[in-house]
Structure 1
Amino acid sequence: MKYKVFIGIDVSKLTIDAHLHGIGASKTFSNEEKGFALFLSWVKKYSKQSEPAEMIICFEHTGMYSIKLATYLNDIEIPFAMLPALQIKQSIGIRRGKNDQIDAQRIAEYAWLHRETIQETLLPAKSILKLQSLLTLRNRLVCDRGGYEATWKERKKALEGKEHKEIFQVYKSLIMNLTVQVKKIEEQIKAVIESDEAVKLNYQLLTSIKCVGPVLAANMIAYTHNFTRFATWRKFACYVGTAPFEHQSGTSIKGKTRVSSLSNKQLKKLIHMVAICACAYNPEMKSYYKRRVSEGKNKMSTLNVIRNKIISRMFAVVNRGSGYVDLMKYAA
């Protein structure tokens, strides 16, 4: 067994609650560098005979609240596992009541129970972390702009006359300002991509594929940690929610094969839009879609096949290290 000390941490906005499995010790620290240093001193007091490489610190991925702790541990090379909250929640069985100390204890128990299979989390490069933050902000701004545009159009139909001119001007100003901010964010995204040669190369390879634009390419690089996070495109398809799964049990349940709702829906949405675009403007995908539909196949099922084709092509060009080749040009 690689690890000897198992520590569970419940991460909150201002504090972290730690629990050492087996010893039963628990303590609360501030969610900042000073608190992290005190936490490690406290751990060393109870595990003097263990090396840092022999301990594993397990905590839930809570976005911006847990990334500070993850970055701190990564910088000083202490093993940690930052796991999805749902993964831990579904593994601990029936529970009643909740508080931070008990949650930390349950996370520590999870780490110990899965000691043979638990995998250390490796943070991506700082350029990837920055890219993730910029893409999240861009998505938020684009969604806000879309909301204002929809409301503005509806109000223009319902409210006519000069007395409502000021309202329309406010909406127009908000939309224009958000458009400017989106363009600034996109320039920063481009600068981050240009600053890293490995990221830049994969970005160029991805955008060589028909209908794959800069937004999907940047998101693919961010979520796959520049194509180091997933071993195969099929594992990524499972993560993004395009991999089909069986739904049957015994003789009574014989459901259709279908995709899972447990997925990265933002990335799935982008890939779906690219699939629709490919059906309209990529001759190969267009003919494939029409042929499948004419055979009586479900339209959404066909679109999902095209989504997986696009995913496999993105992984193929990156693994091969050369741009996409359109074989339709060479067809007789």
Structure 2
Amino acid sequence: MAVNEVQRGIGHEELSDLFATYDAIITALKSEIKKIEAAIKHIINTNPDLKTSFKLTTSLKGVSLIVGTYMIVYICNITKFATWRKFACYCGIAPFSHQSGTSVKGPAQVSPIANKQLKRLLHLAAVSAASHDPELREYYIRRQSEGKSKMSTLNIIRNKIVARAFAIVKRGTPYVNIRQYAA
């Protein structure tokens, strides 16, 4: 139950002890999160290969500390998966056609056997990229105007993020938005 709902329904005066406890718990959790993030950054900074891959991966719009760390961990610094498509299958963001013979044809679906946590993080990265990356925002708006579903468009953006991450880490150079140089 949200604190704002309780305050509207019951009032702050009656439950001041409860709200004080909530505030103390939230403060303690924020402190622990900062410690964990500092430890993650320390581990990444002590390993030169991880540091380079992390810096390259987080040069993408939408990829932050947590998403970048997860991607580097699960792809073992680009050694675990041969291509970005195999990694997309592992994450559950690669669509597969749903058909049986010539009579049964359904829409493309993603695999239910996937790393759900990584899929969720990539979804959040795609939502962020769709609002902050001008190229992906334009793509998202264009697909919406064509009548495509929001989730299929976000899934395509997830795949674009994974493909870009693999490309920049293999190439060894940060992501460059070439649209800013277009005439």
Q: Would you call these one fold, judging by a TM-score over 0.5?
A: yes
Task: Tell me if the contact between 2:61 and 2:128 (Cα under 8 Å) persists in the aligned partners.
Answer: no
Do structure 1's residue 305 and structure 2's residue 156 form an aligned pair?
Answer: yes
- Relative to its length, the structure with more strand (as a share) is 1
Alpha carbons of structure 1 residues 295 and 151: separation in structure 2 relative to 1, 3 Å: closer
Task: Tell me if the contact between 1:247 and 1:258 (Cα under 8 Å) persists in the aligned partners.
Answer: yes
Shift of 1:155: 2.5
Aligned to 1:268: 119
Aligned to 1:55: none
Q: 2:89 aligns with which of 238, 263, 266?
A: 238
Structure 2: distance between partners of 1:153 and 1:218: 33
What is the identity, as a one-letter code, of the residue corresponding to 1:173? A
Q: 1:250 aligns with which of 83, 101, 106?
A: 101
Task: Tell me if the contact between 1:242 and 1:304 (Cα under 8 Å) persists in the aligned partners.
Answer: yes
Shift of 1:252: 3.8
Do structure 1's residue 295 and structure 2's residue 142 form an aligned pair?
Answer: no
Q: 1:325 aligns with which of 166, 169, 176?
A: 176
Q: Deviations over 1:124-144 (max 9, x none)?
A: xxxxxxxxxxxxxxxxxxxxx
- From the CA coordinates, give the structure whose radius of gyration is larger: 1
Structure 2: distance between partners of 1:274 and 1:191: 23
Task: Tell me if the contact between 2:91 and 2:115 (Cα under 8 Å) persists in the aligned partners.
Answer: yes
Alpha carbons of structure 1 residues 302 and 163: separation in structure 2 relative to 1, 3 Å: closer
TM-score when normalising by structure 1: 0.53
TM-score when normalising by structure 2: 0.94
Alpha carbons of structure 1 residues 205 and 170: separation in structure 2 relative to 1, 3 Å: same
Give the RMSD, CA atoms, in angstroms: 1.3
SS at 2:15 equivalent: helix
Alpha carbons of structure 1 residues 187 and 234: separation in structure 2 relative to 1, 3 Å: same
Alignment map for 1:49-88 (pairs within 5 Å): none
Structure 1: distance between partners of 2:148 and 2:16: 51
What is the identity, as a one-letter code, of the residue corresponding to 2:180? K
SS at 1:246 equivalent: strand
Aligned to 1:67: none
Q: Which has the higher contact order (CA 8 A, sep 6+)?
A: 2
Structure 1: distance between partners of 2:116 and 2:8: 33
Gaps of 5+ in 1: 1-149
Aligned to 1:48: none
Aligned to 1:65: none
What is the identity, as a one-letter code, of the residue corresponding to 1:159? I
Do structure 1's residue 282 and structure 2's residue 127 form an aligned pair?
Answer: no
Structure 2: distance between partners of 1:193 and 1:182: 17
Q: 2:66 aligns with which of 208, 215, 236?
A: 215
What is the identity, as a one-letter code, of the residue corresponding to 1:204? K
What is the identity, as a one-letter code, of the residue corresponding to 1:207? T
Task: Tell me if the contact between 1:233 and 1:315 (Cα under 8 Å) persists in the aligned partners.
Answer: yes
Shift of 1:157: 2.8
Q: 2:48 aligns with which of 193, 197, 202?
A: 197
Structure 1 vs Structure 2: percent identity of aligned residues? 49
Alignment map for 1:27-38 (pairs within 5 Å): none
Structure 2: distance between partners of 1:292 and 1:161: 46
Aligned to 2:9: 158
Shift of 1:161: 4.3
- Relative to its length, the structure with more helix (as a share) is 2
Gaps of 5+ in 2: none
Structure 1: distance between partners of 2:12 and 2:107: 54
What is the identity, as a one-letter code, of the residue corresponding to 1:239? Y
Q: Deviations over 1:92-150 (max 9, x none)?
A: xxxxxxxxxxxxxxxxxxxxxxxxxxxxxxxxxxxxxxxxxxxxxxxxxxxxxxxxxx5
Structure 2: distance between partners of 1:267 and 1:206: 15
